[in-house]
Every structure is written in structure tokens, then in C-alpha cells.
Amino acid sequence: MIQRKLEKRAKLLITCPDRPGIVSAISTFLHEQGANIVQSDQYTTDPESGMFYMRIEFDIDDFDKAFEAIQMEFAPIAEDFSIEWRLESEKRMKKMAIFVSKEDHCLLELLWKWRSGELIVDIPLVISNHPDLKDTVESYGIPFYHISVSKDTKVEAEQQQIQLLKQYDVDFIVLARYMQILSPNFVSEFPQQLINIHHSFLPAFIGANPYKRAFDRGVKLIGATAHYVTDDLDEGPIIEQDVLRVNHRYTAEQLKIVGRNVERITLARAVSWHNEDRIITYGNKTIVFN
């Protein structure tokens, strides 16, 4: 379904200790600001002593003025209920950078959805440690930057990448099968802004040729995991997972093809949910209001 930006739509995401009166206070506040709530989702981890999470979509007239007023005047309620909160404008288009190596399946899925209007973002650049996909990316009218990475040049390469991302004022970065481990310094520059995709065999079949070893073991499910990147390799908060069923008739190469399909689908979902402000992280988990 082709999406469109709604000029009067805003989204409020909150996290706080659970207690009576939160929903009433927020709803009353938005009503007094002239907002019309069009969607509201909430979740409590433990009704007795847990945390409360909420996502509200609402429309407001005279958007820019009202949006600024809400940002300023919500602070007393947030303080009263110990709320961590984020207010997002639907009409502001996020800037998404893509990192890629040689494999193109996840990259192309994102570019297809972007060009078809299913993924409403600005893609100001694609960065790769290999030149292979330059023509593909530039055929979409998107700047392509080749920054080679080796053990000896990793620090310098990451500084170049960070400089480019800040130059383009990027909101978040998607690692579309970018086959490099990012340093803690790089990750710290973009907290909760890095989305990665990998096969879901982990912790089994670690390292090279996982599909060959999965074939040798006779696996019956091929999966993929999309998650936020943290300093702990492949252990950041999980956004989305999916699986496709296989059987003994599949060759190792056919398993790899299935793996690519589930990777691109899973990553695209995770990117869409992040772009639409549907995710709240807590600890090493996520709440996804989809």
C-alpha cells in the first residue's frame, strides 16, 4: 500500500513507571491542546510494579504552532509521572543512510519500497566498503560513497563515514548486509539509530558458510533477525524476526536463496516500523506497536 505523509499528524511515545492516571492525564492534556487522538496503543510489563509504554497518534490544526506548544507544555506532566517521552512530526521526512557490501538483496528491497512510495524516507546516500553496487545505487539517483575498510584503515574509514552521515544530517542507518563489525566509537555516535539484519541461526552456525553447515545439519527452518546495533555483537534489541520452512529437498544454495528472501522481508519491516516511530526500547528489548 502506498503511504502518504499526513500534514497534521503527530506521534507521542512515552515510557514511565506504571501508576493510575497516566492515560487520563495525557488524554486530557492533548484534548486541551486541541488534538484529536486517532490511534492509541499501550502496554504494561507488570500490572503490579512494572513499566508503562504508550504510543499515541493525533491530529492538530495550526500544526507548527501547536506542535511547539505541546513540546513545551507537556514537561510538567512528564515530570509528575517520571515520563521519558518523544514527540514526532509525521510530516517531517526522516533521512536514512544505507550501508552495504557486495550482496544486493536487502539494498534492493529497500530501494524498491522507497521508489514505489511504500517507504517514505529520504535516502541521501549509500556507503559501501566495495565498489560493486555503485551503478545500481546511482541508477536510483542516490549518491554512492565507496570507503574501503581494512584492519589498518578501519579507524580512518569510520571517521569518514561519521563525517558523511553528519554532513547529510542522517536520522538513522540501515546495515543492509554490511559485512563489517562497527567499532564501539561508531556505535556510540548513533544510539538506537543503527539497524542490522542477519540470519537467525545464531548462536548456531557462527562464522562463514552458515547455510552450508545448516544444510549438513538438515535444518527445517530458515530465519532472519533485524535488531538495533549495540557494542555486543548481534545481541542488540530485536525489532523483528521471521522464518520460512524448508525440507530435505533443498540444496545448500537453495537454502541461501530462502535466507536472502527472509532477510530482505524482515529488514524492510523493521525499517518501516522504525521510520513510523512504532518502536520503544527498554533494556535489551523492544515494544513494537504495529
Q: At what angle do helices 252-275 and 105-116 cross, to 10 degrees?
A: 40
Quote the cell numbers at residue 11: 506521534
Whether the domain at 9-89 and the domain at 96-288 fall into the same CATH topology: no
- Residue 147's pLDDT is 97
- The domain 96-288 having CATH identifier 3.40.50.170: the answer here is yes
- Residue 129's pLDDT is 97
Spans of all domains in the chain? 9-89, 96-288
C-alpha dihedral (220, 290, 107, 150), degrees to nearest 10: -80
Residue 59 known to be catalytic: no
- Residue 117's pLDDT is 95
Predicted model pTM: 0.93
CATH dotted code for 9-89: 3.30.70.260
Q: Is 9 helix (H, G, I), strand (E, B) or coil?
A: strand
What is the mean pLDDT, run by run of 10 residues, along the chain of 290 residues?
Answer: 78 96 97 97 82 97 96 96 96 97 97 96 98 98 97 95 98 96 95 92 72 88 93 86 93 93 97 98 92
Q: Which of 41, 122, 132, 234 is flagged as catalytic? A: 234
